Amino acid sequence: TQLLEQSPQFLSIQEGENLTVYCNSSSVFSSLQWYRQEPGEGPVLLVTVVTGGEVKKLKRLTFQFGDARKDSSLHITAAQPGDTGLYLCAGGDSNSGYALNFGKGTSLLVTP
Amino acid sequence: ETGVTQSPTHLIKTRGQQVTLRCSSQSGHNTVSWYQQALGQGPQFIFQYYREEENGRGNFPPRFSGLQFPNYSSELNVNALELDDSALYLCASSSVGGGTSYEQYFGPGTRLTVT
């Protein structure tokens, strides 16, 4: 199993602040996804990154895939209370069909 | 486009019982994966079905089994339930064969409580 480590585990910030969440592994992934999950619901796909060094933007969210395709980051600009949730990164594991290996997630709380 | 649906939403079972969870995949998707998410953890891969056959399996015992039907819907069966099986069970569908084969779309989950 290819392990993904996310940091920080918990983050509590005020509205308007910027933040960065990290996802690291010793393994190379063919692609990496970021999901956001709210309590009692399933994860919602935010973005997929495929190419080393790739940067994708989704409104105030910026996702980057490391050059070696072993790590990724998620940066949120001017966080809003609606950004509150569990952010999960997941990498494709070719040893198990097209399964996803998930990190434990970063729990983000944005207060007004 | 219909998303992934799961039933039931919540379920309470007693240790030693058996349970069946159901999932309907998103239209146009041919692959279903099941994940177990314990409280405070990320989802853990149980197994995946493609063309009605198991296409990969995570580190779960044989009492976790599944089926995929011709319409790509799926079932997860768990026998001899244990207290540690209490978790959110997530079904995800995807379309294998294209460049985005690892992109999976999740249902809302079934919350299983074993007492």
| DSSP annotation of A84 | -
Which of A35, A45, A96 comes nearest B58 by C-beta?
A: A96
Using the Cβ of B41 and the Cβ atoms of chain A, whether some distance falls under 8 Å is answered with yes
Please report which confidence band the pLDDT of residue B61 belongs to, taking 50, 70 and 90 as the band edges: very high
Quote the mean pLDDT of chain B.
92
Provide mean pLDDT across the span B47-72: 92
Report the percent of chain A where pLDDT is more than 70: 94
Reported as a single tens digit per residue, the pLDDT across A19-73 is 999 999 998 888 899 999 998 899 999 999 989 999 999 999 999 999 999 999 9
Q: pLDDT value at position B96?
A: 72
Cβ contact A99–B33 (<8 Å): yes
Helix (H, G, I), strand (E, B) or coil at A96: helix
If one counts every other C-beta atom within 10 angstroms of the C-beta of residue A68, the result is 10
Please report the DSSP string for B19-81 in residue order: EEEEEEPPTT--EEEEEEE-TTS--EEEEEEETTEEEEE-S--TTEEEEE-TTS-EEEEE-S-
Q: pLDDT value at position A96?
A: 62
| Contact pairs from chain A to chain B, CB under 8 Å | 89
Q: pLDDT value at position A97?
A: 66
- List of residues 6+ apart from B62 with CB closer than 8 A: none
Range with lowest mean pLDDT among A33-42, B49-58, B63-72, B81-90? B49-58
Using the Cβ of B60 and the Cβ atoms of chain A, whether some distance falls under 8 Å is answered with no
Q: pLDDT value at position B102?
A: 72
Phi-psi region of B109 (alpha: psi -120 to 50; beta: other; left: phi over 0): left
Separation between Cα atoms, residue B3 and residue B21, nearest integer Å: 17
Please report which confidence band the pLDDT of residue B40 belongs to, taking 50, 70 and 90 as the band edges: confident
Quote the mean pLDDT of chain A.
92
Give residue A11's identity as a one-letter amino acid code: L
Q: Which of B57, B101, B103 to mutate to test binding with chain A, by most A CBs within 10 Å of its CB?
A: B103
**Could you tell me the sign of the dihedral formed by the alpha carbons of B80, B65, B69, A2, in that order?**
positive
Answer yes or no: is pLDDT of B51 > 90.
Answer: no
Answer yes or no: is pLDDT of B16 > 90.
Answer: yes
Answer yes or no: is pLDDT of B99 > 60.
Answer: no
Report the percent of chain B where pLDDT is more than 90: 74
Which of B40, B99, B106 comes nearest A43 by C-beta?
A: B106
